[in-house]
Structure 1
Amino acid sequence: MKNWITATLFIFVLSAYNLPHHLSSPTYQNKKLVYKDATYEPEIRTVQLYPYTGNANAVLSPSVATLNNNNLLLEFDDLVQAPENYRVKIIHCNSDWTPSRLRSLDYLYDYNEFNIDNYQLSVDTKLSYVHYKFKIPSLKVPGNYLLVAYRGTDESDIILSKRFMLFNSLVSINLLSDLTGLSSNNRLNQQLDFTIDYNDYPLQNPMENVSIVIRQNQRWDNAITTLRPNFIRENINQLEYRFFNYENNFKGGNEFRFFDMRSLRYPGQNVQRANINTRPTLIDLMIDKPRIYQPYTQYDDLNGEYFIANSDTGNGSVQSDYVTVRFHLKASKVNGEVYVIGEMNNWNLQDRMNYDEVSGLYNGEMILKQGYYDYQYYIKGDTLRSNYFEGDHFQTENEYEIFVYYKPPTSRSELLIGYGYYEMNPSR
């Protein structure tokens, strides 16, 4: 139970953020674990899991590491004034993110309960928070994993869940396309054709026991998970994945929209104004317009990711403030719901925009930590495709990952035995 100071701040945060009524109590009941990236309390913010290398750009990397070189780091904020006792447990999962049949002792060297002891209090911020860090422990088995953080000793009092992957390079992945986007049957799409060579790791019944997952821009909401090899060459131990009916096609999309609020004193690109006299600070972004009929323009984006930074004081982790960011889209009203999505909200359809008939604007807002963000607009409806406001181009620079899972006949779980990372149409 949070103390009275925490509860008072929480009530202020709720009113300032206009959070849903069902979250208006600091006591949460009936939290149900979902096997995906999620937070279970509105105070838990800016959850990032990435390979820690000391490089500032590492935070943009996928939460993937080799089994023998696991350097993954979890960071998150709790919008309260005092630290709490948080713990972590780790669950091994199959390729479809259902829990495997492995016991904790099968994949962990320690008891499945880890304290989060590394934390710092925010400094000189309008909204107080505690910044936590936790290094993923060493694990025995490659595969998908779900990290679950919870309060105290009550494993049902969940605060967040986050996915990560550990792999062994037991098979090799070889691309059959040139990463220019021109191998697609549809000039609005992109696809990866590839082979898997398993000379050094025999696969039994690969048609049934091998699973492939392809992910675009670290997203799980549009991942391809149903591919089976269209050719098996047993004489050379090779599986071929080459398709002609769009089975492995992704929409090319467009380069992501972005805004720079690393400085609140001197607003950056695509920030219209910053009102530092409000609590929290209020940021209005430039008015966006649909890009459906605009020609493709190449520029470096973050492929939907974000990073935390503060050019006003220099310390992004504990001196970056939380601000209200308001989005504005000038467009005719569409038959459907419009959302802002990106890694900042786990690509979830939760930040819905409201249409103002007088101004002809879709307006929405989010509470975000000071930094640099990518985003796009998403339509949920029956008549328009989801990225209608953004457009599709085969030239778009996107990142792709190929995951190769295998379930040995005697195993109780699927193992991640191969991984590949690629950039389509790389601009640098």
Structure 2
Amino acid sequence: MRKWIAATLFIFILGAFNIPGNRPESLYQDKKLVYKDATYELEIRTVQLYPYNGSSNAVLLPAIAPLNNNNLLLEFDDLVQAPENYRVKIIHCNSDWTPSRLRSLDYLYDYNEFNIDNYQLSVDTKLSYVHYKFKIPNIKVPGNYLLVAYRGTDESDIILSKRFMLFSNLVSINLMSDLTGLSSNNRLNQQLDFTINYSDYMLQNPMENVSVVIRQNQRWDNAITTLKPNFIRENVSELEYRFFNYENNFKAGNEFRFFDMRSLRYPGQNVQRANWNTRPTLVDLMMDKPRIYQPYTQYDDLNGEYFIANSDTGNGSVQSDYVTVRFHLKADKVNGEVYVIGEMNNWNLQNQMAYDEVSGMYNGEMILKQGYYDYQYYIKGDTLRSNYFEGDHFQTENEYEILVYYKPPTNRSELLIGYGYYEMNPAR
């Protein structure tokens, strides 16, 4: 049955965007482990890892938690009709997501093999699936971790990998900017200036042993990872990160495009129609246009994230169906490849759009679970910047994270000793 479903899904996905041989980059035929968010089988879908706090918005939060208050939860679907025996192992990583030299006994309280026992079968859906949940176990050491799920006792039979972080507040991060986006000299960019105070925690040779990572909207593909302090004040135990040559600048971007697919009976905003006569149901989105020359408009987006929900039945986890979503972008053909990206595909360039010369439109498809999604169009080419279709505005509301890593001289790994979360231009 799994082979039949895999073949069927492969036909669905291989045909996506009508590009021959367009195989998603997140699927690895030889199942070689990559130290990033990835799926390794076509049936594994909607992988989410977040700090579960009982709130309906928790799924939108980054996969990071305090070391002594680890409430991280993994959820994913397997598009088959019966549950399987899945297990999890946890790998400690350095700040650059290479495996550290720590043994599992150094950072885990238990043997590094955890069963995924919590699952539910889908109810009244055209595509059957099994919905799994797994709570991250207690961990001893702050840092970067890679969760790897695999089948049975064969650790090489990987189905997914997912990054998460645990931190200790051993240093404090203090912003030097006002989070209005105006600290940058370039009105297309946003910049965070900050200091790190280590008066309560001894740092030896911080210029060499401290690493700082800044993320925008929970993305790793454009994270800044090479920052070193431009000034060290040993008398007050402070590191300053204030730059003038765009070392810590991000493209400001624009508010994300979105569509509301919580109901298939009464399609929501930016959904044109839903065709129930197909299997899976076919959903056409409203036609998009380039926004590069449009004035900036602030609205409350999800910063590229998504959440699963079903307003038709009320149970999003197991009653939300998988549907084929079709994207349409009316634009002149550009010199480069056009992709749809967002958290829904781990920001990977795997969903390429095809250009129709007759209609003057880029078209593409993705199979997604019912819910509410943010997305944007990305150009891979040599002549246009990647977000050419979206535009950049310093007023854009974005979320930023600052992660501070330290490698003590006697340690075999880097520790995550400080963490800060900030919203640039928060909506009033």
Tell me which interval the TM-score lies in, with the shorter structure as reference length: over 0.9
Map of 2:151 onto structure 1: 151
1:388-427 correspondence runs (5 A): 388-427=388-427
Alpha-carbon distance in structure 2 between the residues aligned to 1:23 and 1:226? 32
Name the counterpart of 2:84.
84
Instruction: Give 1:254 deviation, angstroms.
Output: 0.1
RMSD: 1.4
Counterpart of 1:43 in structure 2: which amino acid? E
Q: How much does 1:250 deviate? A: 0.2
CA distance in 2, matches of 1:212, 1:11: 44
Matches within 5 A, 1:254-403: 254-403=254-403
Q: What amino acid is the match of 2:196?
A: I
Q: Which aligned pairs between 1:43-192 and structure 2 lie closer than 5 A?
A: 43-192=43-192
**SS of corresponding position for 2:236:** coil
Distance in structure 1 (CA, Å) of the matches to 2:150 and 2:23: 17
- The aligned length equals 422
Q: Which residue of 9, 13, 38 maps to 1:13?
A: 9
TM (norm. structure 1) is 0.97
Any idea what SS the aligned residue of 2:372 has?
A: strand
1:231-269, Cα deviation, whole Å (9 max, x unpaired): 000000000000000000000000000000000000000
SS in 2 for 1:412: coil
Cα distance change of structure 1 residues 181 and 28 upon mapping to structure 2, 3 Å threshold: closer
> Residues of 2 paired with 1:426 and 1:299: CA distance?
10
**2: distance between equivalents of 1:342 and 1:220?**
12
The SS at the match of 1:235 is helix
Q: Is contact 1:94–1:413 with CA below 8 Å preserved after alignment?
A: yes
Segments of 5+ residues of structure 2 without an aligned counterpart are: none
Q: Identify the residue that residue 225 of structure 2 maps to in structure 1.
A: 225
Identify unmatched segments of 5+ residues in structure 1.
none
- Which residue does 1:234 correspond to in 2? 234
Using the alignment, how far apart are the partners of 2:51 and 2:62 within structure 1? 8
User: Deviations along 1:355-387, whole A, 9 cap, x unmatched?
Assistant: 000000000000000000000000000000000
Indicate how the Cα distance of structure 1 residues 152 and 21 shifts in structure 2: closer, same or farther if over 3 A, else same.
Answer: farther
The 1-side partners of 2:54 and 2:210 are apart by 35
1:104 and 1:84, CA in 2 relative to 1: closer, same or farther beyond 3 A? same
Letter in structure 2 aligned against 1:294: Q
Separation of aligned partners in 2, 1:384 and 1:108 = 47
Paired with 1:18 and 1:379, the residues of 2 have a C-alpha distance of 21
Counterpart CA distance in 2 for 1:343 and 1:28 is 19
1:54-87, Cα deviation, whole Å (9 max, x unpaired): 1000000000000000000000000000000100
Matching residue's letter, 1:218: Q
Question: Do 1:6 and 1:82's aligned partners in 2 also have CA atoms closer than 8 Å?
Answer: no
Contact 2:29/2:40 (8 A) holds in 1: no
Offset at 1:21? 6.3
Q: Specify the SS of the correspondent of 2:246.
A: coil
Q: Secondary structure at the match of 1:12?
A: helix
The 3 A distance-change label for structure 1 pair 83 and 22 is farther
Shift of 1:28: 8.2
The whole-number CA distance in structure 2 between the counterparts of 1:321 and 1:279 is: 11
Change (3 A) 1:273 1:135: same
